Structure 1
Amino acid sequence: MPHRQRSGSGRLPTAAQGRTSRPGRCPRTLRAAASLDLTPGRPDHQPNPPPTRDQGVRTHEGSRQSSRGQGCRVRRRCARAEGSHEAAGTIVEVGAGVENLRVGDRVALESHLPCGHCFACRTGDAHTCERTQILGMHFDGVFAERVAVPHRICVPLPDGVPLETGALLESAGVAVHAIQRAGYSVAGRGVLVSGAGPVGMVVARLASLMGAAYVMVIEPNPFRRAEAERLGVITMEPGDGVTQRSRELSGHRGGADVAFECSEAASALPTLFDAVRREGTVVTVGHPGRPVPIDVAAQINKRGITPRGIFGRRLWETWEQTLLLLNSGRLDLDWLITHRLQLSQVDEAMELLTGDACKVLLVPGLG
């Protein structure tokens, strides 16, 4: 879909939110465009239209689907994520104004394109830029064999990181950001995680790796609960027993030290506030579909609980932290992948996400 125009207030138009892009189209109004070819084994010399702007690149992608605003064409070799904004691939063409990327570079894609000029962007908080445009929402996403993306969202992958793993980095980065937002305070602590989707699972894994005293994952889906158990964490269904179990595990402390809400379920937040101890922390990651009332007097004033929120990844600190963890061998992400499907099976992939699946890769050319 074409790049959406901002409203006069500078905020993103609400009509644009929740939109997904049409397959196979490249952004029309981006100035440093890139395009990705997602078909594995497709020869690089096959005809491919040039980038449509002066600072464009094309890439040959390898793992998941995701593309973003300024700079490359990418051919995707392996697969794309279930959303229209997660991908990795190999650059097949760059525009004249792109100096930091070359044909043949393997990149993952950041899905948020901040303006780069506002107060937040200029003071290290670009992840909160109110003019952020999102891949697959405000400009074309990656449900296509090749896509044009801005060079600013291309993150070069280290040699040891496969393209499929690169396609997992956008969502894994959300989990890393959540840990960062908690001040990395999970070592020796009691940790609750609401939601065993990909983000919640990586939060649980990171907390365990960092030495949490215990990690309890709350998840209604039996398949995902079983997947979480494979990480060696405690699992529970949502319900009244969560608070009691948290207090049993923490003894005289009175509850968990930190909780991460990753499910987007509005009903989860009141439970987490009850289940953490006094002076505990609740980090909200998922976006509830409706406003959630919180008893400020009881939970924040009297119990001293600190609520913290995150949006996307901290640019670019989260990416640097995530790549360091991958390079060290401490963090592996490939266990998140439960299905690999052809690009034409996108509807089936969406259905899987409501049931027995974790990460679903769409692999152009998969036969």
Structure 2
Amino acid sequence: MKMKAVAKSKPGPGLQLIEAEVPKPGPGEVLVKVKYASICGSDVHIYKWDEFAQSSLTKLPRIIGHESAGEIVELGPGVKGLKVGDYVGVETHIACGHCYQCKIGKPHVCRNSKILGFHVDGAFAEYMVIPAENAWKVPDTIPRDWVPLMEPMGNAVHTVLSDEITGKNVLVVGTGPIGAMAVAVAKAAGARKVIATDINDFRLRIARKMGADIVLNPEIDDVRTVVMEETGGNGVDVVLEMSGNPNALNQGLDLITNGGWVGLLGIYGKNRIDVPMNDVIMKNLTLYGIVGRKMFSTWVVTTALLESGKVDLSPLITHRVTLEEYEEAFNVIFQGRAMKVMFEIDPS
């Protein structure tokens, strides 16, 4: 049986709509009929075929995409705890299970990790095969088109809950999709005041909808003056750096109070960062580098936040398209007019 998929078929910018065989699940795997899939920033890198994409996709053609949800339609041999008809989200880091990190309970930093849509065929397709252990069963109380966003939301949850957040004044630097979700998670977790910064006013409007108390554009606003006024001259307790911009990081380190903590999720690429380490030391700051989601404790918290109604993801989905409209989907992202673009593959 054939299926439609969006793939990187050859080196160079762009993607292709292809026809491929529906995959068969092997031992310990499940076949998922994909219902929804959203575009991640890493998919944009693949489209552009930049240095990151070229080093990450070592085998072509490759069906891309990883933020996804769907219905299990077939079980491979040996699968337990799941059944045909289950609606699942997908953990996209496929851990090896035998390296040192996996053995000590940290599979999210597995040294041999494979990524859905990079090292194995992904989710921008009508069907996909995933390891059964990567399928996260989702309750019916969570809207089905929110489920693909649970994977990036997990990054926000992991970052926000790295240390104490309740009652704290928080600065979120960079309000792309994960930064905007970090705003909502911080508020849901009891942050006192959340200040969000970005140079994109469209993103700041979304951040406001996600619960930010104050939104600031560093190209227009005097961020330092506002932050100090809003925190009684103390500075913020927490900085969540989601932008990957070295200047933004240094501004955050300037605005944080003594004894505060910093969550680092933004990717800096090959940028060399001149960090004022004496400030980090003398201010007694704690820095956390964040990657992925803790498997699977982060998924438990993400599910609970969505079930409780404390986090509303609907403002994030700004565009809906079919697989055939993939060019339009990526173009609207390139133009800076989208937050999350959702492929509605089989929304029935």
Q: Give the TM-score category using the shorter length.
A: 0.7 to 0.9
Q: Does residue 1:148 correspond to 2:129, yes or no?
A: yes
SS at match of 2:263: strand
Q: Could you say which residue in structure 2 is the equivalent of 1:288?
A: 268
Choose from 282, 304, 313 the match for 1:324: 304
The answer to whether the 8 A contact 1:23-1:142 is kept is: no
d(CA) in 1 for partners of 2:157, 2:226: 26
Higher strand share: 2
| 1:91 positional shift | 0.8
Closer, same or farther: CA 151–307 of 1 in aligned 2, 3 Å: same
d(CA) in 1 for partners of 2:288, 2:346: 42
Q: Could you say which residue in structure 1 is the equivalent of 2:86?
A: 105
Q: Could you say which residue in structure 1 is the equivalent of 2:10?
A: none
**Structure 2 unpaired stretches of 5+:** 1-12, 40-63
Q: Could you say which residue in structure 2 is the equivalent of 1:211?
A: 190
What does the per-residue CA deviation read over 1:34-79, in whole Å, with 9 as the maximum and x for residues that have no partner? xxxxxxxxxxxxxx8561523332122322259xxxxxxxxxxxxx
d(CA) in 2 for partners of 1:268, 1:346: 32
SS at match of 1:168: helix
Q: TM-score, normalised by structure 1?
A: 0.78
d(CA) in 2 for partners of 1:155, 1:86: 12
Higher helix share: 2
The alignment-based identity, stated in percent, is 34
Choose from 220, 229, 233 the match for 2:199: 220
Choose from 307, 315, 320 the match for 2:295: 315
Q: Could you say which residue in structure 2 is the equivalent of 1:189?
A: 168
CA RMSD of aligned residues (A): 2.5
Q: Could you say which residue in structure 1 is the equivalent of 2:59?
A: none
The answer to whether the 8 A contact 1:86-1:109 is kept is: yes
What does the per-residue CA deviation read over 1:215-237, in whole Å, with 9 as the maximum and x for residues that have no partner? 11111111111222233521111
| 1:21 positional shift | 9.2
d(CA) in 1 for partners of 2:345, 2:108: 31
Q: Does residue 1:343 correspond to 2:323, yes or no?
A: yes
Q: How does 1:22-41 map to 2 (within 5 A)?
A: none
What does the per-residue CA deviation read over 1:104-146, in whole Å, with 9 as the maximum and x for residues that have no partner? 1110001111111122112221111121111111111112111
Q: TM-score, normalised by structure 2?
A: 0.82
What does the per-residue CA deviation read over 1:296-348, in whole Å, with 9 as the maximum and x for residues that have no partner? 54222222221111101011110011111222222222221111011122222
Choose from 57, 60, 64 the match for 2:37: 64
Tell me the number of residue pairs that the alignment of Structure 1 and Structure 2 aligns.
Answer: 309
**Structure 1 unpaired stretches of 5+:** 1-18, 27-47, 67-82
SS at match of 2:243: coil
SS at match of 1:251: coil
| 1:266 positional shift | 3.0
Q: Could you say which residue in structure 2 is the equivalent of 1:137?
A: 118
The answer to whether the 8 A contact 1:21-1:136 is kept is: no
Choose from 235, 238, 241 the match for 1:261: 241
SS at match of 1:323: helix
Choose from 157, 171, 184 the match for 2:138: 157
Q: How does 1:233-252 map to 2 (within 5 A)?
A: 233-239=213-219, 241-252=222-233
